Structure formats: structure tokens, C-alpha cells
Amino acid sequence: MCGRYVSTTGPEELAAAYAVDDIVVDEPLPARWNVAPTQPVYVVAARRRPEVRRQLGTMRWGLVPPWAESASVGSRMINARAETVATKRAFRSALLHRRCIVPADGFWEWQAAPEGKRPHAIRRSGGGPLAFAGVWEVWRDPAGGPPLRTVAILTTRANGALEPVHHRMPVVLDEAAVAVWLDPAVNDPRRLLPLLEPSPDDGWEAWPVGSAVNAVANDGPGLLERVEPPTRSEPPDALFAPPGG
């Protein structure tokens, strides 16, 4: 899954990186090293207007389907699985008509360990932008109020480099895949689903970090600092010889 990630790049830089025609951001989001579900996040979405091909704005992380009775369901729909996104009711229409990318600088995963889950930072080797595949929806509160735009990040099985940390990873699109994913004229799952494979094994790095990232309230570049897990000490030598020794 993808439950936390790093987002430190501003809207102008993102617009340049992803050929955005229009920036719709009232107030830039702060740099964040521990982005969590239900928070506003940057999204690059395709538009059908001829004068605007790609638009950069913000949406709330955690997709709320149009038919949902409450926006609270979004906290349970932060990810859409590549294997079922085309068939699940909450995501299948968005896959065909409302696709986007969620820009990131890295993400976090938790590795199972005897002493408990151990957090790891993951990014491209040496850094570099990541384009997570996403789908979005618009929800309107029956009680009134402005429409709520929400997004889910797609996940797939982990590649060989990251599988030792976690069995899932976000779908990371390369430049060619982004072009197809953000093309509003493409609405055939047979063209879209092949894009959702794991990234190639090369060019990734992952390292253990401290437990501070576990708490959403903690933020800052210090979360990326390597913290080696404690090693199990060898059993001490016996203080006494066994009987008859």
C-alpha cells in the first residue's frame, strides 16, 4: 500500500516538470515529509478543454465516491489496487474518465520485523520526482456546501528491489506512461491497465528510519535520517560449566 509519502516540491516546479498548462492553487502547500491521508495534496489532472491540457491543483487524499453517504469513507479509500481498479464500483468510472498523477519525492513503507513494523524511506536513487498514478472523484454533500474533490493512489505488487521491505508499492509512471495516463481520449482499460505494472528494479534505494514517522504530527527532513535497527546480541557465555563438565 501507500499510506505516507514525501512532497517537498512547489507548484511552479511541478508545473514545469509535468508540462502543466494551468495552476489552480489558492495557497501553495508547505513542504511536507510525512503526507498522510485526508490531507490536501498536489494533483496533476487531464482536462478536456482545448486551451488547457493539464491542470495542477489540490485534492483531499482519500477518494469519496459520488454515491457515498458521507465523506468519511475517504479515509478507507486512500489506495486503489491495480488488480481491481477496473472492476471495483468506487474506482472503475474514475479509471476511464478521471485519472491524474500525484507528484512525490519519496514514500514510506513498514517492514514486518520480530520487534514490530520497522519504517523505511524509499526513493529514486539520489532523489528525483515520482509520478504516482491516481484516480479522482467529485463528491457533493447532500446537506449542501462546495463539492469535494478527492484522490486515491494506485498500488501494485512490489518490484524485486522493494519487495524485501513491503509486498506492495505505489504505481510510479515514467514519462511515456504519464502521457497515456493523462490523455483524456484514452478510455480503454486494455491500454490503461498495462501501465500499472511495478517499476523496474534498478534505480531505487530504501533504508530504515526512526519511529518518529509513525506519528502524523511529526514532520521535517530529519525523518529521512537513517536509523539502523538494533542487532540481536549473541547469548552470553555460560557463567558456570554444565554438571559433570
3-state secondary structure of 61: strand
SS3 217: coil
Residue 2 designated active-site? yes
Nearest 5°: phi and psi at 183? -90, 110
8 Å CB contact between 54 and 46: yes
Cell of 90: 468506487
Contacts of 2 (CB under 8 A, 6+ apart): 78, 79, 107, 132, 153, 155, 168, 169, 170
Q: Of the listed 2, 27, 100, 175, which one is catalytic?
A: 2
Q: Which residues of 170-191 are buried (b: 16+ CB within 10 A; e: fewer)?
A: bbbbeeebbeebbeeebeeeee
Instruction: Decide: helix, strand or coil at residue 130.
Output: strand
Give the list of residues 6+ apart from residue 161 with CB closer than 8 angstroms, or none. Answer: 201, 202, 204, 206
Verify whether residue 100 is a known catalytic residue: no
Active-site residue identified among 51, 100, 109, 163? 109
Nearest to 59 by CA among 34, 47, 42: 42
Which residues have a catalytic role annotated? Answer: 2, 109
